[in-house]
Each structure stands twice: as structure tokens, then as C-alpha cells.
């Protein structure tokens, strides 16, 4: 069976560790796991002297990784351990959720279930993040309603916001979420682009008649 292509991500938090053996140790751990688990590491990205508390979208190495992965459609990322990805638990959960929504699989070489384990701490963090997300969404809805109310008063007639696909086409939302589920046999998930292609094959396209983009699929999954 052909190995699954993967990306290695390395990080050192201290400038004092740059040039030491930290990156060599991480690389060896990732390569060892990859060879055992049937992966082929085809690219490596390294954030040197970057804190594990920094959000992933503020790291030059990781943003370069995501750009390269998007172009090549390599969606598996392997790190030495969970703390190499992020030491801060909130950053870790937010980063993992963001990657998952984009169709990426994140694996820790020392514990492949580290990011998917259903521990009490992880559940608490996810619940807190969910509550914050719900508050932000409700706050945005209130702001948009206030803006529509002001426009309606000025225009002398009711102006409504554009309805989303969850209102206009709930079938496409339902189908996108079905396609995003993990395959029960292989344990793999489709990338956002793969979901978009399958939606188009099934006849689900945008209002303009074009296939959904990866970012649009991500929004469909967020409904």
C-alpha cells in the first residue's frame, strides 16, 4: 500500500535551543512514527524560537506549512508530541479545531490519540470555547439586527439581511456535514476541497452555479 503523505512540524521555544539537538530529536521521533504507521514525510516546517503559547496563525513556519499544504493537498501533520504543537491548552484546542475544520489531521508521534482524546480537561476547554463562540455569534447577530433596524427606519420599509444556506438550502448543509464525518472503516476524513468536489458531483453548487470553495465549505460546516 502506498504511504500517506504527511508534513512534519517542528518547534523550539527558546533561542538557546536553536542549533542544539531539539530539532534532531523531534525529526527522529516524527520519522520513526511515520515509518511505523505508514506515512511518508514529504515536507518539514520549523518554527525556531517560537513560544508554544503563540497562536498557530501567528507563527511564520506554521503559516507557511498551511500555505504549502493547501497548494499540494497534503492534509496530515505530524508533531513529536502535543506540546510541540502548542503548550497552552487553549491554543492547542483552538488550533486543533481550526485545522480539523479545514480538513487537516494532526497527529502526535508519542500519542496518536492526544488531540482526539476525550479527557475531562479537554471537554471543559471545548465547552468554554463553545460558549465563547456562541456569545460572539449572538453578539454579531445583535449588531447586524441593529444595523438593519436603523436602515429600515431610514428607508421607511423593513430591510432584512441575506439568508444563509441553513435557511435557503438546508440539504447542502446536511450533506456537507455528512461528508465531513470520519470514515468508519479507514478513520480518515475528507479535506474541504474533497467535500466541495463531492458536493458538486451530487449537484450541490453555489447560487452562482459554481462549486463551493474550501472557505465556503468551512462555513457550511459551521452552521
Instruction: Quote the pLDDT of residue 167.
Output: 75
Q: How far apart are CA 188 and CA 95, in angstroms?
A: 19
Q: How far apart are CA 118 and CA 129, in angstroms?
A: 15
Q: Quickly count: other Cβ atoms within 10 Å of residue 99's Cβ.
A: 20
DSSP assignment, residue 21?
Answer: S
**Strand arrangement, sheet containing 76-79:** 39-47, 4-11, 76-79, 105-108
What is the arithmetic mean of pLDDT over 58-82?
94
Please, which residues have CB within 8 angstroms of residue 207's CB and are 6 or more apart in sequence? Answer: none
- pLDDT tens, position by position, 127-173: 676 566 567 777 877 887 788 788 888 888 766 666 678 778 889 99
- pLDDT tens, position by position, 42-68: 999 999 989 888 999 899 999 999 999
Please, which residues have CB within 8 angstroms of residue 15's CB and are 6 or more apart in sequence? Answer: 48, 49
Backbone angles phi, psi at 143, to 5 degrees: -65, -40
Query: 76, exposed or middle or buried, with CB in 10 Å at 0-12, 13-18, 19+?
Result: buried
Instruction: Quote the pLDDT of residue 40.
Output: 96
Residues facing 107 on adjacent strands = 78
- pLDDT tens, position by position, 195-212: 999 999 999 998 888 899
Cell of 114: 492526544
Choices 3.40.50.2300, 3.90.110.10, 3.40.50.300, 3.40.50.1390: CATH for 4-108: 3.40.50.1390
Domain ranges in the chain are 4-108, 118-161, 162-223
Backbone angles phi, psi at 43, to 5 degrees: -155, 150
Residues facing 105 on adjacent strands = 76
Amino acid at each position: 500500500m502506498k504511504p500517506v503523505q504527511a508534513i512534519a512540524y517542528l518547534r523550539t521555544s527558546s533561542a538557546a535551543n536553536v542549533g542544539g539537538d531539539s530539532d534532531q530529536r523531534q525529526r527522529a521521533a516524527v520519522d520513526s512514527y511515520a515509518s511505523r504507521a505508514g506515512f511518508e514525510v514529504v515536507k518539514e516546517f520549523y518554527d525556531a524560537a517560537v513560544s508554544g503559547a503563540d497562536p498557530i496563525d501567528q507563527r511564520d513556519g506554521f503559516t507557511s506549512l498551511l500555505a504549502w499544504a493547501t497548494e499540494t493537498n497534503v492534509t496530515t501533520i505530524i508533531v513529536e508530541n502535543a506540546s510541540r504543537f502548542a503548550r497552552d491548552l487553549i491554543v492547542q484546542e483552538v488550533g486543533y479545531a481550526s485545522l480539523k475544520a479545514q480538513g487537516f489531521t494532526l497527529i502526535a508521534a508519542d500519542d496518536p490519540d492526544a488531540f482526539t482524546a476525550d479527557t475531562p480537561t479537554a471537554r471543559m476547554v471545548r465547552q468554554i470555547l463553545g460558549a465563547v463562540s456562541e456569545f460572539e455569534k449572538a453578539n454579531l447577530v445583535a449588531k447586524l439586527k441593529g444595523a438593519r433596524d436603523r436602515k429600515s427606519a431610514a428607508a421607511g420599509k423593513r430591510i432584512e439581511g441575506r439568508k444563509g444556506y441553513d435557511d435557503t438550502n438546508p440539504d447542502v448543509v446536511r450533506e456537507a456535514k455528512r461528508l465531513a464525518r470520519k470514515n468508519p472503516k479507514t478513520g480518515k476524513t475528507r479535506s474541504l476541497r474533497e467535500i466541495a468536489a463531492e458536493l458538486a458531483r451530487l449537484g450541490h453548487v453555489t447560487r452562482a452555479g459554481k462549486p463551493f470553495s474550501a472557505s465556503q465549505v468551512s462555513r457550511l460546516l459551521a452552521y
